[in-house]
Amino acid sequence: MNAAAALGGLALLVYAHPPSPMTPGASLVAEKFSSPAAAVTAFLGDASGVVAFGELHQTVKTAGVRSSLARFTDEILPAIAPRASHLIVETWVSRGACGETEKQVTRDVARTTERPAETEDEIVRLLRRAKELGVAPHVLDVDCHEYQSLVSSSGGVDYDRLLTMTGQHLGRAIQQAMALPRPSDRPLVLVYGGALHNDLAPNPDLANYSFGPGIDALTHGDYREVDLYVPALIATLPALRVERWYPAWRLARGSPGTTLIRRQLRSAVLVFEDRRPSDRAPAKPVH
């Protein structure tokens, strides 16, 4: 695995999600649930299309906090897997077949995004857990020509191109999964990646990075966006404080339970319970 899964968070360092309340100008309301699974189940209702989960990607500075990825694998996926046939994960395998260009892009992305080494293990665990639950896992595939296209004229990585390409790859992977057989009782196609590519109503400046509008049209409105946040990580991104959901979360933060805030009927923010002591990632054993 390499750092393709990291790129959604890179743009989030600069841009916040555009406010999109169900009623323009109205305050958003925080709902409390006993668990993340209960919150997601209530939000999805009878959805039978595509559900795209977005996260704020972790960096080495927040590696001590249990990630959204780990929480999704343990707390959300088991609850919705019985309704799903496919899971697409925003990552790709670095095969080493594209020479120095591939190595250069991989090194540059790893350095820029500062993903902790544990993220790769968590992605592998997610893919394995999905398969155990009867959900077919899928990752992205980048060819040598695409690696070459990511190198800018200055010799660095063209991150605008990379974010655009990642969104396009995810969109194609979703369409391919939708074309595959799906049992009537397992109609969902799940997606897991950065909380940028899944935007249902993206900021116009970021629209090229999002597959949300296209997949929403393809599914005739049977598309759901769920952005996942860990309280300890929200504090690391001041831009989130201008989000329409932020005041609602702050008011509800002191109450126990998982917080769900609906931006629109088909777009929501889920904030995991603010358990500060147990939010820490498990310590590595000392040998």
| 136, 84 Cβ separation under 8 angstroms | no
What does the alpha-carbon distance between residue 262 and residue 266 come to, in Å, rounded to a whole number? 8
Pair type for strands 267-271 and 258-264: antiparallel
Give the predicted TM-score (pTM) of the model.
0.85
Task: Write out pLDDT tens, residues 160-208.
Answer: 888 999 999 999 999 999 999 999 999 999 999 988 899 999 999 999 9
Q: Which residue has the tokens 């990075």?
A: 209
Task: Write out pLDDT tens, residues 231-271.
Answer: 988 888 888 999 999 999 999 999 999 999 999 999 999 99
Q: Which residue has the tokens 């999109």?
A: 20
What are the strands, taking DSSP E only, across 171-222?
Answer: 188-194
Other Cβ atoms less than 10 A from the Cβ of 282: the count is 8
- For residue 116, what pLDDT is reported? 59
What are the strands, taking DSSP E only, across the chain?
Answer: 30-33, 50-55, 84-92, 136-140, 188-194, 223-229, 258-264, 267-271
Pair type for strands 84-92 and 188-194: parallel
What does the alpha-carbon distance between residue 30 and residue 259 come to, in Å, rounded to a whole number? 6
Token pair of 184 as six digits: 């009537």
